[in-house]
Structure 1
């Protein structure tokens, strides 16, 4: 193999490594962009708790972030195995941060989903329970007794 060919191969490898890093960075950027905005999770214009929970549940969608993260990890892993990155600590740290953010958002979404199904049942239980409900039942019973007389 000639010296010129080796030089060309090194140059091609350097270009490929740069493109791989750009692919990882681009996928990470796309993933961060698809995550919910902090204000969307914090602010609401709902009239009741169920409306708040439904709005929050919708806001806690990670969209395509998981797919973009997968692409970033795929290219990052390939670049690491090829020893193509001079310094990849920043990429590795950002991938870990993104994974953590996606996990936190997904877990919060699950918790909100559970509350969304629990709160209406709890409201019904509270409406049907207690002294007010007992007196209504007694009143209904009194009406039935009067009808029988």
Structure 2
């Protein structure tokens, strides 16, 4: 092997290109795992709880988190090595995916809370209506007779 094929600058350049490719591949994979807008918007179910559960499932982002983590790890190493000419651009792309991920996680938590609250609310409403059956009718009948 010749000395020129092992030049540090050349090797560093190759490593930087590979690192950038790793970041971009992980970002592409993260974007690909984001839920489709239609999967979040168009949900079919027989009742409110079914809609909430379908929506919560559509908002599952475990794979997005894993790919984003890979992108961030490769980016941090490359940035510390000053391997990227456009580190700000890469960081902005990572931040954009991270922002969407944060929005999805927030929505998923809210949907989960609603999915827990709606059955309890239904039961409370049923109990309230059962408690008023007969009691209120007698009084209104007596008032109507007077």
Q: TM-score range by the shorter chain?
A: 0.7 to 0.9
1:1-149 pair list within 5 angstroms: 4-5=3-4, 8-130=7-129, 133-136=131-134
2: CA distance between counterparts of 1:122 and 1:11? 66
CA distance 1:10–1:31, shift in 2 (3 Å) = same
Number of equivalenced pairs: 135
CA shift for structure 1 position 135 = 2.2
Q: Describe the superposition over 1:46-97 as per-residue Cα deviations: whole angstroms up to 9, x where unpaired.
A: 1211110010010010031111111111111111111111112221001111
- Residue number in structure 1 paired with 2:140: none
Q: Could you tell me the TM-score, scaled by structure 1's length? A: 0.83
Query: Does the 8 A contact of 1:69 with 1:95 survive in 2?
Result: yes
Structure 1 portions without partners, runs of 5+: 140-149
Structure 2 portions without partners, runs of 5+: 138-146
Q: Could you tell me the TM-score, scaled by structure 2's length? A: 0.85
